[in-house]
Amino acid sequence: MSVTAFQDLPLADRDRSWDGDGAEKRVRKWADAEDKPNQKYRDAHVWFDGDKKDNFTAYKLLIADVIDGKLEAVPRGVMAAGAIMDGARGGIDLPESDVDRVKSHLAKYYKKMGETAPWERD
């Protein structure tokens, strides 16, 4: 199991809507990963199952979209992933050993947005 390296992607406009399904399609095309995932595709996600890295279903917590030809972290995508990691929406099935690293990855984007991650709030 693997948490992706923090990419420090530029942030999209805060009011940009989040369309995870649409972002998934755009990221696949942008990454030239139509047939199988690759490193560029991986960079748009926070976590993937390293044992199944050639399967699209192994990738979780998509936080980025392609905007004007560039990969950008979408604040509402980060917040959706943060809500999942905070237990909303039923959570997500990740190895316990990866949870803190995933939260740390997401917290960096929250900080970049001038926010505090839900699990770090009082």
Six token digits for residue 68: 């004007």
The length of the chain, given as a count of residues: 122
Give the pLDDT of residue 88.
63
Please give the residue that has the higher pLDDT: either 121 or 42.
42
Six token digits for residue 113: 């947005």
Model confidence, pTM? 0.93
**How does pLDDT run across 51-108, given as a tens digit for each residue?**
999 999 999 999 999 999 999 999 999 999 999 998 865 578 888 899 999 999 999 9
Query: What distance in Å separates the CA atoms of residue 63 and residue 37, rounded to the nearest whole number?
Result: 16
Query: What distance in Å separates the CA atoms of residue 91 and residue 104, rounded to the nearest whole number?
Result: 16
Q: State the chain's mean pLDDT as an integer.
A: 93
Give the pLDDT of residue 90.
59
The strand ranges marked E within 29-104 are 45-48, 59-62, 64-67, 70-73
